Amino acid sequence: ELYESGKYYVDKVPQPIKDYNYGNGWGTISYLEGVQHSSNVAFANLLDKLGFETFGNYLNDFGFGKPTGVGLPNEAEGSILYHYPIEKYTTIFGQGTTVTPLQMIQAESAIANDGKMMKPYVISKVVDPNTNKVVKETKPEVAGNPITKESAQKTREYLETTVTSPEGTGARFALDDYRVSGKSGTAQIPDPATGRYKSGATNNYLFSFMGMAPADDPELIVYVGIQEPELKEGEIGSDPVAAVFKPVMQNSLKYLNIKPQEKVTLKKSSLPDVKDLSVKEAKAELEKAGVEPIILGKGSTVTKQSPPSGDKILEGERVIIKTDGETTLPDMTGWSIRDVFKVAGLTDLKLKVEGNGYVVKQSIKAGTKVKEGQALEVTFKTPQEQMEKKKE
């Protein structure tokens, strides 16, 4: 559905609600584009469609206006300004009403977790140091179910477009190896001296981003907020936020051994199923599909393959097959993290990764026999880092 962006007039309020580009908007655009543009006017129109009462109920169901009960003292509860029409319109695009980052993450957990909102906690367990007995242990607890599974999935899909769309305000938060779903924020800051919002300098805002990844089945939510950052020439408020969000999210996902995601695929014939074929037969079948496989082990029969049959592959992506013989590691120098994960998955190695880019070092030498559960540490460097190292 389309709407007219730019300005929205609330009844009996002389000053209009404006989109951030001084109320110029982007003409008549879809509501999805409105989300991608962070259009205040899009959400004002959506409030008319939802109705004041329905949206007010959502604020309550998502846990705003009350402490999360995280287990820390003096937790703020925020203040929901939702009395007059103008307050209801400003609340729907995030102004006037105050919320905490913890409340936002709790609410976001419903979107990440197919509608089930999870109560946050800090202490996993308390252990008696003398007896090593667990005195208290925290279990995951559902704090509510504000939306359906279908609504959560659709919301993740929409929020991912803020990162992937050329029009999206979240383009700076895209990761190399994982799909991100999220939303940027730019909040005005009250000036204690005047009682009005600060103005003038381009950094007089609270810039933020809340993202989850992998987008289709999130494992982590990361919120970053930076108030009045010192901006370098040519920078905008999202730049320092992205500089925090990207390495924290990327490295945390790697630490958790979350498999990297493919973003685009080739229109090649899909991979054949070569399991239980001889190595010679498997190589022939895969070569017909246009790939030269990497063989793990010295056996004669294929027991596993990665990617699995039916998948399409990226340009330059490696196809790995494991045989029934003793398993040895290949030389992975120059490999992408996606291909390294395949080897670790097929061999059941405990993988620890460091850095970004391509493999420069592996803790187990190529040709070495490996066993299930063995630790493998792999160091990655970007091409730029490798060039700088050579110069040194």
Q: Per-residue pLDDT tens, the chain, 392 aa: give them.
A: 899 999 999 999 999 999 999 999 999 999 999 999 999 999 999 999 999 999 999 999 999 999 999 989 999 999 999 999 999 999 999 988 999 999 999 999 999 999 999 999 999 999 999 999 999 999 999 999 999 999 999 999 999 999 988 778 899 999 988 999 999 999 888 888 888 888 878 889 999 999 999 998 999 999 999 999 999 888 899 999 999 999 999 999 988 988 887 554 443 457 889 999 999 999 998 888 778 889 998 889 999 998 888 776 666 678 999 999 888 899 999 898 888 988 998 999 998 888 877 899 999 999 899 988 899 999 988 777 777 776 66
Among the listed residues 386, 344, 385, the one whose alpha carbon sits nearest the alpha carbon of residue 362: 344
What's the CA gap between 364 and 376, in Å, rounded? 6
Question: What pLDDT, on a 0 to 100 scale, did the predictor assign at position 266?
Answer: 40
- Examine the domain organization and report whether 154 and 256 are in the same domain: yes
Q: How far apart are the first and last CA of the chain?
A: 57
What's the CA gap between 107 and 13, in Å, rounded? 31
Total domains present in the chain: 2
Count Cβ neighbours within 10 Å for each residue of 149-178 and write b for 16 or more, e otherwise. Answer: eeebbebbebbbbbbbbeebbbbbbbbebb
In a domain, 308, yes or no: yes
In a domain, 37, yes or no: no
In a domain, 336, yes or no: yes
Question: What pLDDT, on a 0 to 100 scale, did the predictor assign at position 74?
Answer: 93
Output the domain CATH number for residue 194. 3.40.710.10
What's the CA gap between 272 and 289, in Å, rounded? 8
Output the domain CATH number for residue 377. 3.30.10.20
In a domain, 75, yes or no: no
Whether the link from the prior residue into 383 is cis, omega within 30° of 0, is no
- Examine the domain organization and report whether 289 and 387 are in the same domain: yes
What's the CA gap between 16 and 271, in Å, rounded? 57
- Examine the domain organization and report whether 283 and 385 are in the same domain: yes
- Examine the domain organization and report whether 251 and 284 are in the same domain: no
- Examine the domain organization and report whether 156 and 255 are in the same domain: yes
Q: pTM here? A: 0.71
Question: What token pair was written down for 97?
Answer: 């009403």
Backbone phi and psi for residue 243, each to the nearest 5 degrees, phi listed first: -65, -25
In a domain, 301, yes or no: yes
What's the CA gap between 219 and 105, in Å, rounded? 13
| Inter-residue contact 126 to 118 (CB < 8 Å) | no
Which of the listed residues 227, 260, 293 is the one where a domain comes to its end? 260
What's the CA gap between 243 and 246, in Å, rounded? 6
Among the listed residues 255, 250, 292, the one whose alpha carbon sits nearest the alpha carbon of residue 382: 250
Which of the listed residues 210, 231, 260 is the one where a domain comes to its end? 260
Which of the listed residues 260, 292, 310 is the one where a domain comes to its end? 260
Question: What token pair was written down for 33?
Answer: 């584009």
What's the CA gap between 273 and 341, in Å, rounded? 20
- Examine the domain organization and report whether 236 and 338 are in the same domain: no
- Examine the domain organization and report whether 255 and 156 are in the same domain: yes
In a domain, 211, yes or no: yes
Question: What pLDDT, on a 0 to 100 scale, did the predictor assign at position 262?
Answer: 58
- Examine the domain organization and report whether 248 and 336 are in the same domain: no
- Examine the domain organization and report whether 253 and 286 are in the same domain: no
Question: Which residue range(s) make up the domain with 377?
Answer: 279-391
